[in-house]
Structure 1
Amino acid sequence: MSKTSDFITGVIVGAAVGSVAALLYAPEKGKTMRDKLSYKVSHYTDELTAKIEQLRKERDRLVSEAKERGNQVVDEAREKAEDLMQEAEELLHNASEALDDKA
């Protein structure tokens, strides 16, 4: 999430710096400049909103895949544990029978 946070921060800072630079270096009327800035802010907001939505979908997909894989690992571990328990019970039973036969 650090990369995502850094990216979003970079987009916001870049938009702000670009807007300030445009204000300082553009010899236009105030109304025209405000309209342009308003458009740019709206445009960057739309882009940022779309990127955030894309990142959320990607996060949800990755979380879902991780949960699914985690469940698979747990199921496999459970099956192996059950197999080992069954083998241990068989060995214990065989050892018990061997001791009974010697007695």
Structure 2
Amino acid sequence: MGYTDTFVSEDTKAQSKWGGLTVRRRYTKKGIHPFDVIIWENRSATISNEKGEVIFQQDNVEVPDFWSMTATNVVVSKYFHGQLGTPERETSVKQLVDRVARTFTQWGIRGG
């Protein structure tokens, strides 16, 4: 699975004809995907129990380089979709962020 580029119009007049909420660009630049300003790295997410036995592991996951291993382990183990070892399993935080952003967008469109 890959992440999806989404288009956000900066034409607030065009957006206002549909009613609802207008969201202006913040913290990003036109023409530059927000993912492209982050340095990404591949890691293994591993959680061990008190005996040192591995209870969760997913290798080769893509996360921002500034994330701690704790953040990596929590997000990968709790919030990545799909069953481990299947093609549906997310392997990148980009996929997770894209999925959540798409969901919010769909809710907004449906809700007007």
Give TM-score scaled by structure 1 length.
0.27
- Structure with more helix by fraction: 1
The one of the two structures with greater contact order (alpha-carbon pairs below 8 A, sep at least 6) is: 1
Larger Rg: 1
